[in-house]
Structure formats: C-alpha cells, structure tokens
C-alpha cells in the first residue's frame, strides 16, 4: 500500500522552533471523492505568520493549529487526480495544503496558476507576500508621492515588495534590516533610498539622518526597539500599517508599545491587518500588483530549503534573520 509523508504539530513553542515540536508521519495515499481532487505538492511557503498559528491563542484572527494535526502552510502543487468539474489532472494550483506531500481539496481557497511562471516567483510575489504588501500599502497606507515610508523587515518577502511599490510610486523609502548584506541588497538592487541596520546602528540617529523631515508611513513587520524610534518621528496624519510583530511572537510578555499621546497630537492612523480578512479581494489586489511586476519594478530573491523535513528547522531562520529572501521548501 503506497504512503506519503506529512508533518504534524505536537507541541506549542516556548522558544526556538525545532524538530521537537513536530512528528513526521506516514499516511496512506487518499483517493479523491466526489467534488474533490488530489494535489501533489511541489513547494511549500514558510511565513512568519506560522509562528502565531502554532501558539495556543484562541483569540487570534485564525484558530491555532490543533496538536496532532498537519502543520498549516500554503503551497504550490499539481493536480494528480480529480473528480472536480473545475480542476483537471495536470493543473498547477496554489492553496493551503499544509506540511505534507499530498493533499485532498474541495477547491475552497485553491487557485490555478500560470504553469509557465517559476515556482519561486509565484510564492515570492503572487502569493501571500505580494497580496499582503499590496493590501497593507494601498488599502491602509494610501501613499502619496513625495512622502517618506519606513519598512521594517525590509529584506523579507513582504517588506521588500512594499518598499519597491512605494519607490515606484515616488516615495522616499527607508528599510530596516539586520545585516549589511541585506542593507546593500535593498539599496543597490531594489532601489531603496536608505537602510537602518537595527543590530549595529544608533537607531534614532540613523533615522534622523535618513528622514530629516520626519516619517509619513510606517509598515511594521517586526516590532522591537525600532518601533519606538519610528513612532517618535511620525509626522502629523501619518499612517502605520501593523502587519507582523515577530520580535514578540514567542515572548512570555510582549514588549510595551509606544505611548498613545503622539496618536492624539499627530492624529495618527494605526491599523493592524491580516490577509484572511482580504483573500476575497485577491483578484483586485493582483490586478493592482501585476503591472508593477510586468514593468520590471518588482525584484525578489528566494531562500530555498530542500526536503519536507527542512521546514522543522527552517522556521527558526525568521528569528535569527538567517533567511535571504522568501523562505520556500522544495519537496
């Protein structure tokens, strides 16, 4: 009897992410039922949001992954068996398939994708990173040419797209990164106007140098000390898009946020958002994003890990900053 490999979550994280939180299991290959199809997954996306999905928090925007069940993730694959009228054998599809080689689907939340596009481009640009960047920047930030935006996690999959979109629209773009290599990449390859290395720079002084007229927009991906230094320098009627807070995801007590007085004095808009609220807008978001890609204004780089089991240690790269671009697992 043929089997396939899956990885279940069996413990909640309390520190670094490692194999002790997971269990590798062999499952019997399923057969597609009525209105279903079977996908062989070829690539999985690793995203910072997974760290929140693994926590026991039941008040989050999406229920936690149940212990003993397949770890949640989005991915790319090929339909290998189908009893669904809208999906045929050979279709290339993207959806929430989980940490497993095979997945049964009813088609809910699954999209066909262009078979001619490389897997790393699809997962780095046209999947959650590009949708998240587009929704946050335009749906909340409403950028205007001539404004200054600071993007934390600027060398990451979401932050790098946010910065390039803003630059293409005529904004001054400053990225926050954790290494000189990443600083060089976002400035020399992506066209950012400046970079702050949160590990080595005097954060306040560097922001004063790069944004002498203050900051109009802040795209927040990470949290940490940079959050306070940016908040102090926001201009009146500034907009802050809160996308992620990786510095606090596994902390026993989240770090204190900025004082709210500036929110009143400067009439700031601060809004958190998550993509599950906006997935129904995916066609419109892709319609907005695609011309920038076609015009060569969006570059990306992917950090590809080999083999399903590499995901168990790969997630820790988000904490160490060891990933160079979009984290992808090639099965």
Tell me the per-residue pLDDT of 83-129, one tens digit each, with 9 for 90 and over: 999 999 999 999 999 999 999 999 998 989 988 899 999 999 998 89
Instruction: Return left, alpha or beta for 202; rule: phi > 0 is left, psi -120 to 50 is alpha, else beta.
Output: beta
For the record, the structure tokens of 88 come out as 């045929």
pLDDT for res 255: 78
In the structure, what pLDDT confidence band is assigned to residue 252 with cuts at 50, 70 and 90?
Answer: low
pLDDT above 90 for 153:
yes
For residues 154-163, give the mean pLDDT.
94
End-to-end CA distance of the chain: 21
**Residue bearing the bigger pLDDT, 322 or 125:** 125
For residues 134-163, give the mean pLDDT.
96
In the structure, what pLDDT confidence band is assigned to residue 233 with cuts at 50, 70 and 90?
Answer: very high
Listed range (2-11, 108-117, 176-185, 263-272) with the worst mean pLDDT: 108-117
**SS3 letters for the chain?**
CCEEEEEEECCCCCCCCCHHHEEEEEEECCCCCCCCEEEEEEEEECCCHHHHHCCCCCCCCCCCCCCCEECCCCEEEEEEEECCCCCCCCCEEEECCCCECEEEECCCCCEECCCCCCHHHHHHHHCHHHHHHHHHHHHHHCCCCCCEEEEECCCCHHHHHHHHHHHHCCCEEEEEECCHHHHHHHHHHCCCCEEEECCCCCHHHHHHHHCCCCEEEEEECCCCCHHHHHHHCEEEEEEEEECCCHHHCCCCCCCCCCCCHHHHHCCCEEEECCHHHCHHHHHHHHHHHHHHHHCCCCCCCEEEEECHHHHHHHCCHHHHCCCCCEEEEEC
pLDDT above 90 for 160:
yes
* Cα gap 136→130, rounded to integer Å: 10
pLDDT above 60 for 1:
no
Task: Please tell me the CATH code under which domain 3-116+302-330 is placed.
Answer: 3.90.180.10
**Residue bearing the bigger pLDDT, 85 or 259:** 85
**Residue bearing the bigger pLDDT, 200 or 318:** 200
pTM, rounded to two decimals: 0.86
For residues 176-199, give the mean pLDDT.
96
For residues 146-173, give the mean pLDDT.
96
Question: Residue for token digits 């601060």?
Answer: 270
pLDDT for res 257: 80
CA distances to 12, 217, 227 from 68, rounded to whole Å, are 11, 41, 36
pLDDT for res 59: 76
Residues contacting 235, CB < 8 A, separation 6+? 213, 214, 215, 216, 266
pLDDT for res 249: 64
Domains of the chain by residue range: 3-116+302-330, 128-277
pLDDT for res 283: 87
**CATH architecture of residue range(s) 128-277:** 3-Layer(aba) Sandwich (3.40)
């Amino acid at each position: 009897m043929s089997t396939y490999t899956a990885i279940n979550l069996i413990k909640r994280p309390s520190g670094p992410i490692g194999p002790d939180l997971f269990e590798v299991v062999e499952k019997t290959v399923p057969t597609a039922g009525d209105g279903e199809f079977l996908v062989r997954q070829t690539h999985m996306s690793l995203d910072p949001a997974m760290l929140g999905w693994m926590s026991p928090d039941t008040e989050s925007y999406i229920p936690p992954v149940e212990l003993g069940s397949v770890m949640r993730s989005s991915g790319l694959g090929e339909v290998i068996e189908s009893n669904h009228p809208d999906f045929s054998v050979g279709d290339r599809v993207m959806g929430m398939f989980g940490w497993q080689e095979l997945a049964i689907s009813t088609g809910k939340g699954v999209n066909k994708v262009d078979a001619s596009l490389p897997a790393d481009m699809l997962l780095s640009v046209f999947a959650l990173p590009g949708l998240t960047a587009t929704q946050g920047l335009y749906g909340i930030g409403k950028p205007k040419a001539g404004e200054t935006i600071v993007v934390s996690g600027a060398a990451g999959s979401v932050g790098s797209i946010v910065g390039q979109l803003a630059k293409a629209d005529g904004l001054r773009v400053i990225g926050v990164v954790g290494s000189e290599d990443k600083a060089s990449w976002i400035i020399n390859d992506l066209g950012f106007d400046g970079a702050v290395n949160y590990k080595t720079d005097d954060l306040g002084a560097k922001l004063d140098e790069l944004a002498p007229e203050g900051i109009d927009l802040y795209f927040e991906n990470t949290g940490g000390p940079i959050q306070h230094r940016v908040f102090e320098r926001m201009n009146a009627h500034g907009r802050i898009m809160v996308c992620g807070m990786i510095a606090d995801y596994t902390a026993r007590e989240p770090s204190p946020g900025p004082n709210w007085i500036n929110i009143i004095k400067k009439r700031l808009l601060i809004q958190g958002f998550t993509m599950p609220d906006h997935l129904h807008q995916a066609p419109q978001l892709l319609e907005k994003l695609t011309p920038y890609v076609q015009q060569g204004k969006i570059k990306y780089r992917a950090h590809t890990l080999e083999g399903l089991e590499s995901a168990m240690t790969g997630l820790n790269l988000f904490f160490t900053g060891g990933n160079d671009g979009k984290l992808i697992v090639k099965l």
